[in-house]
Structure 1
Amino acid sequence: MSDPSKLSARYTTLVVAAISLIVLTCVAFIVPVPYVELRPGPVRDTLSTVKGGQPMFTFGAKVKTYPTTGSLYFTTVRVPPPDAKMSLAAALTAYVQSDHAVIPKDLIYPENETAEQSDAESAAQMTGSQDSSRVAALRAAGYKITGRPSVVQVVKGGAAFGKLVVGDVFLDVDGKKVSNPDQVVKAVGTHKPGEAVRLTVERRKKPVNVSIVTRADPKDKSVPRVGISIGVTYDGPDVNNNVGTDVGGPSAGTMFALAIYDKLTPGSLTGGKKVAGTGEITPDGTVAPIGGIRQKMAGAAKAQVTIFLVPAANCAEAADGDDHGLKLVKISNLKGAISSLEALAKNPDAKVPSCS
C-alpha cells in the first residue's frame, strides 16, 4: 500500500515543476530581449525598371549610353523597426536558422532612437550612396569629375538660418577662393565669435553675397560657428537614380556604380549573367564593408544569381558557411569589380580575386 505522505510530496513536486515550466515558457515568449533578427531581404536589378516601368537609371539628353544584357542586383536585409520587441523564444528560433542572424539591438539602433529618426538616417545614407556611386561610375567611365564645397544642412535658428540654403556652393570666404570643405572651415575659424564672415555662394547658377555674424560654439566659447554642415557637390553629366524611397542605407552603392558604368560603356559588363553584390562606395571608387552579408547572399541565391561581389573586409564572414552555389568575388574598389566581371564575362573559369 502506498504511503500517502510520499504521494503528496510527489504530487507537490510535479505541480511546482509544471508551474515553473509554464512560467519559464511565458518568460520565453513574452519578456523581450535586447536583440534584433536580420533576415534575407529582396533583391533588385539595377539594370531593370522600377515601379511604373521607368528604368532605374535615366541619363541626361547629352549623355551617350549603350544597351546591355544580364542583371546587376543590389541586395537587402530585413531589419525590424527600432520599437519592435523580440522574445527569447524568437531569438532562439532565429539563431538556429543558418540564413538569419541575431545581434545586439544597440549595434543597429542607438539607444532611444525613434523609427522616424532611423528612417531619416537611412534615407540620408541612401542619398549619399546615390551621389557617390554616380561620381565613382562617371570617373571609371573616363569622365573628369570635380567637387566643390557646398551646404548640406542649415541649423534651424542658427547664425546662417535664412541666409544660406542647402545646395549653396561656396565660391569664396572673405574674398579668398575656396575649393574644398576644409578651406571653408579654416577660413571661418580665423574669426572670433561675434565677428562677421563674408561669403560668396553659387545659388541657382548665380553668385550670391552673404554676411553672417558668427556665434560661439556651445562647448567651446572661443570657437566661431555659423550653424551649417558642409559637404561636396560634384559636377558632371546628369544621372538620375529612380530607385525610390522604399530602400535605405548605403550598401547598394557599389551595384549602383556598376550599373551606371555598364550603361555608359559599350558591351555587357556581365556577359548576360546574373550578378549580385553589396558594398558601400566612396566617390573615388573605394568599396567599404557592410552588415548582413550572409543574409544578402541568401537573398541573391533565391534570385538564381551565379556571381556575388563581396567587399574584401566581409570575405571571411561570407566564406564561413553555405555559399549557396555562388561564386564569391572579392572586391576592394570599383576598378577591381569591373575587371573581375569583364574577365568572367569572357571566361566563366577566369581567375579573379576570391573569398574562398
Structure 2
Amino acid sequence: MPRRTATMLASTLMLIALLCAGVFIPVPYSEMSPGPTVNTLGDHDGEPVLQIAGKKTYATSGHLNMTTVRVTSADYRMNLVEAVYGWLAHDNKVVPHETLYPDGKTEEQSTQENAEEFSQSQESAKVAALKQLDVPVKSWVIVSTVVKGSPAEGKLHAGDVIKAVDGTAVKEPADVAKLVTKHKPGQAVRFTIVPAKEQAAAEKEKRTPTETQDITITTTTSDDTGEKRAIVGISAGTDHTFPFTIDIKLADVGGPSAGLMFALGIYDKLTPGSLTGGAFVAGTGTIDDAGKVGPIGGIEMKTVGARAKGAKYFLTPADNCAAAAKDTPDGLTLIKVGTIKDALGALKDIRGGDTADLPKCGK
C-alpha cells in the first residue's frame, strides 16, 4: 500500500475513533437553555395565573412575564460532542454537573427542593405585594421540615408553630437556630409549640389558637464541616394568614426565581390602572417578605428567552446585572432592581415614557 494512502487511511481511522470516543464517553457536565416565559397577568393552560377572591381587582394590560431555564436531568450523561456543541451554541450554556446537582443530588430530591422553594416564593411574593399596599398580614414561625432519623422526628411536625425555645419568644426563623445552638450536643432544649392541627383549626374558625405544648428534645451533633454545633433536625420557616385569597396557578415550574414577578402581578391586579402601561416587561429574581430582590441562576438563558417572546424590558436583580450585561440580546433593556420598590419605580417610568434615566445594567 502506498505511503500516502496508508497515511490517509490511518488519519481517517483515527478521526472515526475520536468521533466514537466523543459520542460514547460521558463528561461531567450538564446543559442549561432558555425555558418557557409566562405572563403573570394572563392565563396559562386555560386559567388565570393569579386568582384573587374576596378583594376588588382591576383590569390589567401588557406583560409582566416570569422566566425559566430548562436543564438536563440529574441522570442524563452528556457526551463530549454534546458538550462541545453546547459550548459553541449561543443560546445554551454548559456547566459542571455538580453546579445543578450538588452532592450527588437525585432528580427526585432536586424536584422536591424546587417545589418547596417555589411554594415559599409564592408566599413571600404575596406578603411583599400586600406590604407595599399597606395591607396587614399575620405571620408566625413554623417547623418547615423535620429530618428523618433526627431527634425531632416524631416530636415536632411540619406546620407546628414555634412560639418559644427554652422560654424565649421566637420572632424570626433564624431565632430558632440561634437558641438551639446555645446548647452543647447532648443537652436538652425545650420547644413551646402550637400543634399544626390546632393552628389549622384556629385559622379555619378565625380564632386565636389556645392549645400549646412543651416538647423537650435532646440535641445531637451536626454533621457538617467546621465547628460542631447542637441541632435537633428541623428547619424553621414562616407561615402567613392573608385577609383574602390569592392563588397562583402555574404547574411544572420550580425554584424561587419567579418571586419578584408574582409580587408585581399581584400588586397590579389590586391597584387601578396598568402597572406596565401596556409594555412588554419580563424579569426574574427571588423576593423575601420585606420585598428585597435576590439573585438567581441562568440569567443569560432567561434574557434570551424573554427577548424571543417579545420583551422590551427585563427587570434584573442587582447581583445578576454584571453577568446579564455581558451578552444582552438586541432590543432588550436590562433594568437593575434591588427591591420591589425599585421595580415599581422603573415600571412608573416605563408607562410614563420616561426611560432615559432607568437604572440600567452596565451603566
**Structure 1 length-normalised TM:** 0.88
Match of 2:246 among 229, 240, 245: 240
1:334 aligns with 2:347: no
Match of 1:213 among 212, 217, 242: 217
Q: Residue 92 of structure 1 aligns to a residue in which SS?
A: helix
Q: Residue 104 of structure 2 aligns to a residue in which SS?
A: coil
Match of 2:349 among 337, 343, 347: 343
| Residue aligning to 2:164 | 172
| Residue aligning to 2:192 | 199
> Amino acid of the residue matched to residue 154 of structure 1?
V
| Residue aligning to 2:205 | none
> Amino acid of the residue matched to residue 141 of structure 1?
L
Q: CA deviation at 1:201?
A: 1.8
Structure exhibiting the larger radius of gyration computed from Cα positions: 1
| Residue aligning to 1:39 | 33
| Residue aligning to 1:4 | none
| Residue aligning to 1:304 | 310
Deviates more, 1:177-186 or 1:285-294: 177-186
Unaligned runs of 5+ in 1: 1-6
1:110-147 deviations in Å (ceiling 9; x for gaps):
14221111111211221121122111111112224453
In 1, Cα distance between the equivalents of 2:92 and 2:333?
Answer: 21
Match of 1:84 among 62, 72, 76: 76
In 1, Cα distance between the equivalents of 2:243 and 2:17?
Answer: 64
1:56 aligns with 2:49: yes
Contact 1:152-1:230 within 8 A present in 2 as well: yes
| Residue aligning to 1:140 | 132
Q: CA deviation at 1:243?
A: 3.2
In 1, Cα distance between the equivalents of 2:48 and 2:167?
Answer: 44
Q: CA deviation at 1:54?
A: 2.8
1:26 aligns with 2:13: no
| Residue aligning to 1:294 | 300
* Aligned-residue identity in percent: 41
1:269-315 deviations in Å (ceiling 9; x for gaps):
00111111111222221212222222211211221122111112222
In 2, Cα distance between the equivalents of 1:149 and 1:231?
Answer: 6
Q: Report the count of equivalent residues.
A: 348
Q: Residue 276 of structure 1 aligns to a residue in which SS?
A: strand
**Structure 2 length-normalised TM:** 0.87
1:245-278 deviations in Å (ceiling 9; x for gaps):
4011111111111111111222110011111111
In 1, Cα distance between the equivalents of 2:239 and 2:154?
Answer: 21
1:178-220 deviations in Å (ceiling 9; x for gaps):
3233444455556673646252325222323133332432659
Deviates more, 1:249-258 or 1:25-34: 25-34
Counterparts of 1:114-193 in structure 2, within 5 Å, are 114-145=106-137, 147-188=139-180, 193=186
Match of 1:254 among 250, 260, 264: 260
- Aligned-residue CA RMSD in angstroms? 2.5
Counterparts of 1:87-102 in structure 2, within 5 Å, are 87-102=79-94
